[in-house]
A and B are shown apart, each in its own frame.
Chain A
Amino acid sequence: MIKTSEMKKILSTVLERTAAGRLEWREAAAVSGYLVSFSHSALILRRGTSGNPSWSLEAINEFGDAVGHLTPHDSESAGKLEKLGEIVERKSQRVDETLDDIFRGLEGGQN
């Protein structure tokens, strides 16, 4: 299993790359959340349940088994996971592009 310290390192890198638009997240099929895949591994960002709305990060091996898990057990991880969740949701729903297009349309006065 991947250690918590290693998962925290993954989280920092993932947050940085996602913010820079270098990771392509997609909505997961059977879980509420998003996944990004690499050649022989993947990461799943799970949205918490209604009782526990915080995000968690899972590392998946080449066979699809979870080999690492990071839950928001400290304020630093919680903040980063929350920020990552927000960025991933915005990017997967193309919120920024939609807003840009709406404002461009409004400025140009076209419909």
Chain B
Amino acid sequence: MNVNWQPILGQSASSALHKADEARPWLPEAHVSIFEYFAVWAAIVGLPLALWGIWKAYKEAQKAQTASRAAQDAVGQFRSDLGKVNVIAELTRFCDGISDLKRFLRAKVVHVVPDRLSELRRYLINARQSHLFTGNNKAQKVIQAAVTELATTEDSIEAHLADTKQPLDFVKITREMTRICDEIHVLLNDARTTIGKNDKD
């Protein structure tokens, strides 16, 4: 039996499709839309751009971190300097107070001396708490010796005021006050030289 097979599509439609494929030789056999090609190109260009963006953002973050650290350091340094200025003020008041005290002792105006002595002791105790003298054993010893001397002198003068028969060697006390002032003055000068200097140096 003879069967006459006929193409499903008409001859003319099939050849028209073939011609269209030939007109776009860059396209592969499988049909891909223009949007999909655009997406591929965008991915090729976009990836380095994204990496550059990430790198740039990282650099900016680093810069910001460095600036923040520098700002924190500056604030820390300012606080440290402020503490040093307070110590310098306390030690300066101490040295001025010692000068006044010596004048009172020479004039034998004894009744005001105990209060002055305890005030001077307080200046030293405040100054000692500063970070400036933390770990500085020599400075701590000088301050402790001065605090001890002031306290024992205060006790002796109080005892003298209570009972004037208690002896008081004014010359020796005045001489020791001068020595204490000289020792504290060395600490004062050391403290002055640290102003504006980085504590980490």
Shortest Cβ distance from residue B96 to the other chain A in the assembled complex, whole angstroms: 19
How many Å lie between the Cα of A30 and that of B160 in the bound state?
11
Count of A-B contacts judged by CB separation below 8 Å = 69
Shortest Cβ distance from residue A45 to the other chain B in the assembled complex, whole angstroms: 12
Main secondary structure of the interface of B (DSSP, over half): helix
Residue contact A42 to B140, C-beta cutoff 8 Å = no
List chain A residues, Cβ under 8 A from B177: 29
Of residues 47 through 105 on chain A, the ones whose CB sits less than 8 Å from some CB of chain B are 60, 62-65
Stretch at the interface among A2-10, A11-19, A32-40: A32-40
Residue contact A37 to B144, C-beta cutoff 8 Å = yes
Interface size, chain B (Cβ < 8 Å): 28
How many Å lie between the Cα of A41 and that of B145 in the bound state?
8
Interface size, chain A (Cβ < 8 Å): 19
CB-based nearest B residue for A46: B152
Q: What is B's interface to A at a CB cutoff of 8 Å?
A: 121, 125, 128, 137, 140-142, 144-145, 147-157, 168-169, 172-173, 175-177, 180
- Which of the listed residues A37, A41, A64 has the most CB atoms from chain B within 10 Å of its own CB? A64
List chain A residues, Cβ under 8 A from B155: 30
CB-based nearest B residue for A43: B148
List chain A residues, Cβ under 8 A from B140: 39-40
How many Å lie between the Cα of A64 and that of B147 in the bound state?
6
Residue contact B152 to A30, C-beta cutoff 8 Å = yes
Shortest Cβ distance from residue A56 to the other chain B in the assembled complex, whole angstroms: 13
How many Å lie between the Cα of A60 and that of B180 in the bound state?
18
List chain A residues, Cβ under 8 A from B175: 29
Q: What is A's interface to B at a CB cutoff of 8 Å?
A: 26-31, 35, 37-42, 44, 60, 62-65
How many Å lie between the Cα of A52 and that of B142 in the bound state?
31
Residue contact B168 to A37, C-beta cutoff 8 Å = no
Shortest Cβ distance from residue B86 to the other chain A in the assembled complex, whole angstroms: 19
Give me 24 A-to-B residue pairs in the complex whose CB atoms sit less than 8 angstroms apart, sorted by A's number.
Answer: A27-B176, A28-B176, A29-B149, A29-B172, A29-B177, A30-B155, A30-B157, A30-B169, A30-B172, A30-B173, A31-B152, A37-B142, A38-B141, A40-B140, A40-B144, A41-B144, A44-B152, A60-B151, A63-B151, A64-B121, A64-B150, A64-B151, A64-B154, A65-B151
- Which of the listed residues B137, B145, B152, B157 has the most CB atoms from chain A within 10 Å of its own CB? B152
List chain B residues, Cβ under 8 A from A40: 140, 144
5 additional A-B residue pairs with CB within 8 Å, beyond A29-B152, A63-B125, A64-B154: A30-B173, A37-B144, A38-B141, A60-B151, A64-B147
Residue contact B173 to A42, C-beta cutoff 8 Å = no
Shortest Cβ distance from residue A63 to the other chain B in the assembled complex, whole angstroms: 7
